[in-house]
Amino acid sequence: MIRGSLEHQGRERTFTIIEPGEPGESDTPAETLFVFFHGSQQSGTVTRKFTNFTFDSLADRGCFVVYPDGVEQHFNDARRGLDEQTRHLGVDDVGFFISLVRYMNQHHGITRVFIAGYSNGGQMVLRLMHEVPKMIAGAATIAANLPTPDNTLPEVLRHRAHPIPYLAMAGTADPFSPYSGGDAGIGSQHRRGHGLSAHESAAYFAQRNGALDLEPTKTRRSPAVVVDRWNGGRPVELWTLIGVGHLVPSNKNYPDFLGPSTDQLVAAEVIADFFGL
């Protein structure tokens, strides 16, 4: 593990790097980077513990794994309703991501990048998918539905679409990012505005990717896991976690206020397999 930093917008931005295993332990090229964006009121260090260090395991698959730290424990995502210091300070997290990739290329030879995020970090992934899609080889979100158009920063929607393999994971008992869409947020003091449903969010990206059929195929993976898949050159999958809350499935129990946990899958493994890592 390495603690890294770079200067962006006159501010020191920090991140944690997990180095890959020894050559020969994985078929994944050593120039692969996996970036995981933490949720609200977290940091890279906190999210490693929160996810039971399961995303660290992607280093065993040959990836450099990086956990960036948001400013004031948040990323400046695409939602108009984000009322946090990162928005008030005008933090350019898209630019920070670009600088981070350049840093990893200069210091570690990175040439392809996969990204994933949880909650506010998932919303940051959705923003990057719109603004810098050509930098991204694949994207995944957990507990993060796409904001409605009237709740999306106008500059985000001005960019030309570019297809990206995308996996979304959403719990039907999520109290903060409702599976069926609507008002999202944490408590009465941290509302985030309205979002689409999980299915509408995934279908939106399937259409942007030029899906061969706008009706997905549906597969039940376990009693509480259903997968919708839109096929095409850049597939989209929605993993519906029935009865599961606002969390990252990681073989652990979470606090009750986040909603029910599950032991039927590990998000890090599902995402790595989807990316072919």
**C-alpha 163, offset from chain centre:** 16
- What local confidence, expressed as pLDDT, does residue 213 receive? 80
3-class SS of residue 14 = strand
pLDDT digits (tens, 9 = 90+) for 151-180: 999 999 899 999 999 999 999 999 999 999
**Cα–Cα distance for residue pair 264/11, rounded to 1 Å:** 41
pLDDT tier at 204, thresholds 50, 70, 90: very high
What would the pLDDT profile of 255-274 be if each residue is shown by its tens digit?
999 999 999 999 999 999 99
Q: Dihedral of the CA atoms 210, 150, 119, 188 (nearest 10)?
A: -160
Average pLDDT over the chain reads 93
Q: 0.75 cut: is pTM over it? A: yes
What's the pLDDT band for 182 if we cut at 50, 70, 90? confident
Does residue 214 or residue 276 have the better pLDDT?
Answer: 276
Please state, for a pLDDT cut of 70, what percent of the chain lies above it.
95
Residues 90-114 have pLDDT tens digits of 999 999 999 999 999 999 999 999 9
Of the options 3.40.50.1820, 2.130.10.10, 3.40.50.150, 3.40.50.2300, the CATH number for the domain spanning 2-275: 3.40.50.1820
Distance, in Å, from the CA atom of 203 to the CA atom of 215, rounded to the nearest integer, reads 9
- Which has the closest alpha carbon to 137: 101, 108, 86? 101
Long-range (24+ apart) CB contacts under 8 A made by 176-182 are 176/119, 176/143, 176/246, 176/258, 177/119, 177/143, 177/144, 177/145, 177/246, 178/145, 179/145, 179/240, 181/145, 181/148
State residue 188's pLDDT score: 61
Whole-angstrom Cα distance, residue 267 to residue 10? 35
Write down the domain spans for the chain.
Answer: 2-275
Give the strand pairing for 182-186 and 190-195: antiparallel
Instruction: Look at residue 26 in the predicted model and tell me its pLDDT.
Output: 57
Residue 37 Rama label (left phi>0; alpha psi -120 to 50; beta) = beta
- pLDDT (tens digit, 9 = 90+) per residue, 33-84? 999 999 999 999 999 999 999 999 999 999 999 999 999 999 999 999 998 8
C-alpha 90/C-alpha 29 separation (Å) is: 36
Q: 């979100």: which residue's tokens?
A: 141
Q: List the one residue out of 87, 156, 81 whose CA is nearest residue 125.
A: 156
Closest-CA residue to 145 (of 82, 79, 68, 59): 79
pLDDT tens for 10-39 read 999 999 999 997 655 556 666 999 999 999
Q: How many CA atoms, within 13 angstroms, populate the side-chain half-sphere of residue 210?
A: 7
Residue 200, pLDDT > 90, answer yes
> What is the rounded distance in angstroms from the CA atom of residue 189 to the CA atom of residue 244?
24
Query: In this predicted model, what pLDDT tens digit does every residue of 134-152 receive, in sequence order?
Result: 999 999 999 999 999 999 9
The answer to whether 178 and 245 have CB atoms below 8 angstroms apart is no
With residues binned 3-state (H G I as helix, E B as strand, rest as coil), the percentages for the chain, rounded to 5, are: 30, 30, 40
The reported pLDDT for the residue numbered 6 is 97
Torsion of CA 47, 69, 145, 248, to 10 degrees: -10
To which residue do tokens 């970090």 refer?
121
